[in-house]
Amino acid sequence: MNDGANNLAVEKIATGISSFDIIAKGGLPRNRTTLISGTAGSGKTIFAVQFLAAGIELGFPGVFVTFEESASDIRKNMRSFGWDLAKWEAEGLLAFVDASPDPEIDSVESGGFDLGALLARVKHAVKKVKAERVAVDSLGAVFSQFSDQSIVRSELFRIASALKSIGVTAVLTAERTDDYGHIARFGVEEFIADNVMILRNVLEDESRRRTIEILKFRGCDHQKGEYPFTIVPDGGVIVIPLSAMQLSMKSSNVRISSGNEQLDAMCGGGLFRDSVTLVSGATGTGKTLTVTQFLQGGAKNGERCLLLAFEESRDQLFRNATGWGFDFEEMEAAGMLRVVCDYPDVSGLEDWLVTIQATIREFKPQRVALDSLSALEHVGTAKAFREFVIGLTSFIKHEEITGLFTSTTASLMGGDSITETHISTLTDSIILLRYVEMFGDMRRGLTVLKMRGSWHDKAIREFTIDKGGMKMGRPFRNVTGILAGAPVHVSPGDVERAWSQLDKDSEIPRRDSGSPAVGEDGADIERRRIFPPASD
């Protein structure tokens, strides 16, 4: 193929479509045609219009050739996305070539024909608005307007080549019958196959999941595989580029308070800024309290906090906070707190991610708490959920926000949840809250399981909840098997023997034993101040 004097690599143009340019590694190849194939309702027309709308916003006029919906329908339908096509037409930035079937016109074919008139109209429109971008929607509809398919096929090929030669970048949509099957109906990919993209709208476990895949970009690079995307009002297609987002994550050593001095000490001095902490526990173990403390701690330091609550109503949350001695209403009135309360099922996970990102961009919080991830787990498939968590964690880290997510374990005693197995590797810190059964009492235990890049307390400490929040007590030294969900009591003599053996092996001075340490130093005094001996 002759690309003229251009012997450089294929140039790309930034489409301006949110995040699409990331997965396309720069955008669509310039002066080429790209086939967008998808099933009914997969978002082809929206993508095609958005390609033009984003171009017009960047200062590149466009032409829309429609074979399916009439121009007036498209103008009306695209209003909801915030694109005023009629205004752009009046300003000479957009031109329609309306080749949609007109029910008023009855026509018959009598012998050979070509689509020369259509090509002349397209060329004329391109010239009229000095278009840089052309969208054609959709190729399949051309076939249904004429009975002689071989003529249509060769004529479409002629139009596609003509678009290339007049120096516009074009997207052409095509239908497919299956989300996983032939690329497009009528084999259109065979003649317009420089670049092929596929939009999917797959039904999985009763919920729809949209993905976009770049199948090929002839002569240039792109991200591979399916990427989830969503279509939102006032924005159109928003691609969620998972792998691309993770690359630019930063990491800082600044510590911030979890809102509880004792918990900070257990974490080795507080949580890291731009880290994500997972708090896992059975129902009633104190997850929402941890969240409340975290928000209170932020507001006290003059940090804006965002709470995404999917389990409890606003009133409940505020009442709980009051019970623990925190005033959410005052924090909210001071503009330090925003609470987003909603049923998790009101929208899909991709939509949630986009909504949450938009809220974060607008409110600019320094802390984000989500209570709970488990409530969102059932909204989509396991894969969609994992993508949601990846998307959210990388986004909040990128924005240098501290995140605290909760997850509910299914069993009361010990055990882990599907949520954890899916996301534990994505979070920087994990705090476990567990019930511990002791001689007919349910006690609560807390341990810092993981704290990426930091020393942390390895003990499982008992804690109590009263007005004022969480109070840490002594470690459960004579109980073993708490995390496994089967606590076994060990006699104090056995505990001493086991520990002396461990200390000898590791040569690390033993800390936090029930008996006072022999030569107390400053650190021990500080430790005793933070963790006063339990008063029971």
Partner 1 sequence: MLENPEMAEDERILATPTLIKSLPLPLRRVIGDLSDKDKVLLGLEVQPKPLKSADNGVAS
Residue nearer to partner 1 on the CB measure, 101 or 335 = 101
As measured in angstroms, the least distance from the Cβ of 83 to partner 1 is: 22
Note whether 29 and 11 are within 8 A (CB): yes
Our CA dihedral for 140, 145, 151, 156, rounded to 10 degrees, sits at -40
For residue 530, which of 260, 296, 286, 273 has the smallest C-alpha distance? 260
Phi, psi for 433 (deg, rounded to 5): -115, 130
Distance in angstroms between the alpha carbons of the first and the last residue of the chain: 85
Q: How many CB atoms lie within 10 A of CB 140?
A: 18
Q: Which of 68, 132, 303, 387 is catalytic?
A: 68
- Rank residues 58 and 117 by Cβ distance to partner 1 and give the closer one: 117
Q: Which is nearer to partner 1, 107 or 491 (CB)?
A: 107
Residues for the chain: how many in total? 536
- Shortest reach from residue 118's CB to partner 1, in Å: 4
Q: How many residues of this chain bind partner 1 (CB under 8 A)? A: 26
Using CB under 8 A as the binding rule, the residues of this chain from 88 to 147 that contact partner 1 are 97-99, 102, 104-118, 120-121, 123-125, 145-146
Give catalytic status of residue 311 as yes or no.
yes
CB of residue 348 vs partner 1: minimum separation in angstroms? 39
- Between 123 and 208, CB nearer to partner 1: 123
In angstroms, what is the minimal distance from the CB of 86 to partner 1? 17
In angstroms, rounded to a whole number, what is the distance separating the alpha carbons of residues 497 and 495? 5
Sort strands 305-309 and 337-341 into parallel, antiparallel or unpaired: parallel
Residues 6+ apart with CB under 8 A from 160: 33, 170, 172, 191, 192
Q: Among residues 121 and 477, whose Cβ is nearest to partner 1?
A: 121
CB 110, min distance to partner 1, A: 4
**Residue number with CB closer to partner 1 (3 or 102):** 102
Spatial distance between the Cα atoms of 168 and 61, rounded to a whole number of angstroms: 10
Q: Which of 98/312 has CB closer to partner 1?
A: 98
Cα 354-355-359 angle, rounded to 5 deg: 115
Report the half-sphere exposure of 126 (CA within 13 A, side-chain side). 22
Site string for partner 1, 288-307 (x = CB under 8 A): --------------------
Distances (CA, A) of 330 to 148, 296, 337, 448: 72, 11, 9, 31
The amino acid sitting at 125 is: A
Nearest C-alpha neighbor of 201 from the set 351, 39, 68, 7? 39
Residue (107 or 515) nearer to partner 1, CB: 107
Q: What's the alpha-carbon Rg for the chain, to the nearest Å?
A: 30
Residue at 246: amino acid letter: Q
- Cβ proximity to partner 1, 96 vs 326, nearer residue: 96
Tokens linked to 494: 């056995």
Helix (H) / strand (E) containing 513: none
Strand 28-29 to 133-137 pairing: unpaired
Structure tokens given for 506: 């590791």
CA-to-CA distance for 388 and 380, rounded, in angstroms?
9
Using DSSP, state whether 407 is helix, strand or coil.
strand
Nearest approach, Cβ of residue 193 and partner 1 (Å) = 23
CB of 115 to partner 1, least distance (A): 6
Task: Map residue 178 onto helix, strand or coil.
Answer: coil
Q: In whole angstroms, how close is the CB of 167 to partner 1 at the nearest point?
A: 18
523 makes contact with partner 1 (CB under 8 A)? no
Minimum CB distance to partner 1, residue 172 (Å): 16
Question: Per the residue annotation, which of 175, 189, 311, 377 is the catalytic one?
Answer: 311
* Alpha carbons within 13 A on the beta-carbon side of 452: 17
Q: Are strands 276-281 and 461-466 parallel, antiparallel or unpaired?
A: unpaired
Task: Catalog residues that contact partner 1 under the rule CB under 8 A.
Answer: 97-99, 102, 104-118, 120-121, 123-125, 145-146
Annotated active-site positions, please?
A: 68, 311
